[in-house]
Amino acid sequence: MTFQPERVFFEQVALDYPLGQELYERFRREGVPIKMIGSHNRVTGIPGKTAQEAYREAKRTLVVGVRRTLQFESCKPSAHYQFPLCTSCIGKCEYCYLNTTLGRKPYLRVYVNVEELLQRAQKYIEERKPEITVFEGAATSDPLPYEPYTGALAKTICFFAGQEYGRFRFVTKFTEVDSLLSLQHGGHTQIRFSLNTEKVIAAYEHQTPSLKERVKAAVKCAQAGYPLGFLLAPVFLYPDWRKDYAALLEQLAEGLAQSLPTGASLTFEIITHRFTGRAKKNILEVFPGTTLPMEEAERRFKYGQFGYGKYLYFPERMDEIKAFFQEKIAELFPTAKIKYIV
């Protein structure tokens, strides 16, 4: 599923970096419309009069910029720090939490100062050693679809291969992993795949690969020796949820049966569906026909770590979810670790 932007905005300072120059020349040769801007945070000129049009056009718009803020955000419970290679995602998942944080035009951003970001990561590692410092590369994006343009994941994986006290991890719904398979990763990068039931993927995860394709990509990564993980998110409760999530896990176990080395580490992270008031408003504007379950009366309200409240499943339903996944994962993946169920 190759991403091809319909328009590209370049932050002027991005041309001071080799990757910025390379991308500028590439898009110019390919005939993609290019516009220069002063800041990747203030982008005007993306078409779209309605919320639906604005969202659709933003997902076709690539902004090439420089990440000036080298203070990395915390990333609990996934890692110690976010590692910001890019922002936003080419997928159009109706439930996406970026509907809260990125607003009505979630245009796609890549950063060309990757070496500066790696140097900053080195400082964080030095400050915390001899403890291991873990960096999450997909906190505000899915970085894999951008890789054919930036090569940023490859650079990052190779960097962390040489870090005794540093580790990198990212999660993706996409499947174009071939360029990463021959890298010397040293077992220091964990590749995780975001999975869901076929019903959820078909209903809500637009422009993303199928479950079968994601499992196939995960098998490739296992064969290449990468530490592997799976993010089951968001988990939805609907009449056949147990049956469907059991089928998902069984399909995954079958796919990995001949590929996962004996004793290989395998992790699961499970996140139940939740939404914010702001996200619901944006979702209903962009996807007016959505069937997402967003009835506040059927949820409990809780304030999160970033200061805004979320609507979560009630505790008794959470207990059902935890019991189900703990039992099923123990049955099919007896050596795997469940990092959290939230």
pLDDT tens digit string along 258-313? 888 776 789 999 999 999 998 899 899 999 999 999 999 999 999 876 667 999 99
**Alpha-carbon distance 296 to 105, whole Å?**
25
pLDDT of residue 306: 62
pLDDT of residue 307: 67
Could you tell me where the DSSP H helices lie in 137-210? Answer: 147-150, 152-161, 198-204
**Alpha-carbon distance 175 to 299, whole Å?**
34
Domains and CATH numbers, the chain: 1-171 (3.40.50.12110), 173-273+313-342 (3.80.30.30)
Token pair listed for 342: 């939230």
pLDDT of residue 264: 78
pLDDT of residue 15: 98
- List b or e across 138-165, with b for residues whose CB sees 16 or more CB atoms inside 10 angstroms: bbbbbbbbbbebbebbebbbbbbbebee
Confidence of residue 1 (pLDDT cuts 50, 70, 90): low
pLDDT of residue 101: 75
In single-letter form, the type of residue at position 293 comes to P
pLDDT of residue 274: 95
For 33-44, the pLDDT digits (tens) are 999 998 877 788
Provide mean pLDDT across the span 185-208. 98
The pTM of the whole model exceeds 0.75: yes
Is the pLDDT score of 78 beyond 70? Answer: yes
Neighbours of 327 (CB within 10 A): 11
Percentage of the chain modeled with pLDDT above 70: 98
Confidence of residue 100 (pLDDT cuts 50, 70, 90): low
Confidence of residue 113 (pLDDT cuts 50, 70, 90): very high
